[in-house]
Structure 1
Amino acid sequence: MADTPPEAGPNAAVHPPARAELRADCSSCFGLCCAALPFSASADFPVDKPAGQACSNLGEDYGCTIHSRLRDEGFRGCTVFDCFGAGQQISQVTFAGRSWRADPGSARSIFDAFGVMRQLHELLWYLDEARSLPTSEPVDAELRAVQEETALLTRSGAAELGESDPDGLRERARPLLRRASALAREDAPGTGPDRAGADLVGAKLRKADLRAADLRGALLIAADLRGADLRRADVIGADLRDARVGGADLSGALFLTQPQANAARGDAATRLPQALERPDHW
């Protein structure tokens, strides 16, 4: 069947993708984020759109007809979103090039699988980064086991994806990622503050020394982080919407993702990890 990739199965070789492979390639996707996901009129979107309905700006070629002016048109949320490569995986591998427009009867299955795949790909991003840290050797075997199980699942068919448990995989990975973070931060110069889960909305942290800080899940919305040093700071799950990071050093920040960078307000002087791209709107 088209939605069961030939390489899937218990004997499939497992080669987890590197972070370079976990980037959105819209040219190889059938506009899944523009059709599968809902959005509501807000500061991020000018209109409502239910899940499963194509955005009015989605072209016949699955490209965005207003891509170059999304922010000007009020679609800021589109410029922040990133699927971690789940779109092309679903479009080209899971459904072997079959689009939801060409096969409307499969649309629901395609859209549901996309939601699961994005969760799995995001987890793979974190696991790959954790394993890349030179200090993670004590937990590498356990990280690799979860990474390989997750990678194998991404190559399965739509039915298996629908029966999978991404939340369970994340719960297994959570303490391993936390341990990898602790090992990396212990090895860093200085000891950063523990502000995990802290409410730092609008906080004045300009030029702050946040090296090796624990900022997991912190609310940094509209915080002033201009010129701050966040090398080895753990920012997994931190909310960086409208955080001002002009001139900040995020080059060694732990678990920083493309959506987080997209949501922040940086400039040409902001330093990012090599695995991330500088957002066009900075």
Structure 2
Amino acid sequence: MLDTASPFAPAPVAEARLDVAIRRLRKAVVTCELAPGDFVHEAALAERFGLGRASVRVALTELAAARFVSRHARQGWRIAPIDGALIAAVLDGRRRLEPSLAAHRLAEPALATATTLLGMVQSVSGRTELAALATARVAERQLRDLLTTGAGVFARDWLGGIWDHSDRIVRMLDLGGHAIPPADLGELVAALAAGHADLARQAIARDQKLFADAVAHGFLAMSAQLPRPQARSARRRGAHQSPPIAADRPIPSSKEKQS
């Protein structure tokens, strides 16, 4: 019997290793294990994560397509910084994509799983230690992924990408000591279980607003704690530098200088 597999298809072992590299590096970026704004190099990443150099290069190329990293000549790869432009893009993406979830009814056995995940999030409600937050974040993300059941492969991929960027923003705030509360998706789950698309869209809009407000407050608090540059004293400037001219002191004319 002839082998109908494509001669250009990668070997199963090589493909598995590539998948591992992509998942591992993406997780490192999303969890801020690779810090936003930092420059990284292929060789260092391969050694750090026990991956092949070629797999790391392909993984970084895929992450670049998803806007998690960017390549810079002679500097390596830069982890995408988390700034106002990124946050605005994430909020806009969620506003555009998430309402599509309201068209899909949540039925068993997905509903039972969603109820369990909601309980996990609520069990650590109000706690701010990183371990408790991590538990809530994982359960919340699993719940969001569950809600894409029936949404189609493209919708799942697009939502997964935008939620990864959201998770990275949230993780940065967690590590900075300005954690935002995990999302309460109970109303959304109830609306989807009942098949009420309008109520589901309203719950999605409320969740988006709460997220946007919490992120804005979190980053304002972080910005307020950034160290401010201090003015150097005249002694530190050195005797070779001229003292500044006082605002109320007139600048002498050229004739006065000669006299």
Instruction: Tell me whether the two structures share a fold, i.e. TM-score over 0.5.
Output: no
**Bigger RCO of structures 1 and 2 (CA < 8 A, at least 6 apart):** 2
Asked which structure has the greater CA Rg, the reply is 2
TM-score scaled by length of structure 2 = 0.26
Bigger helix share: 2
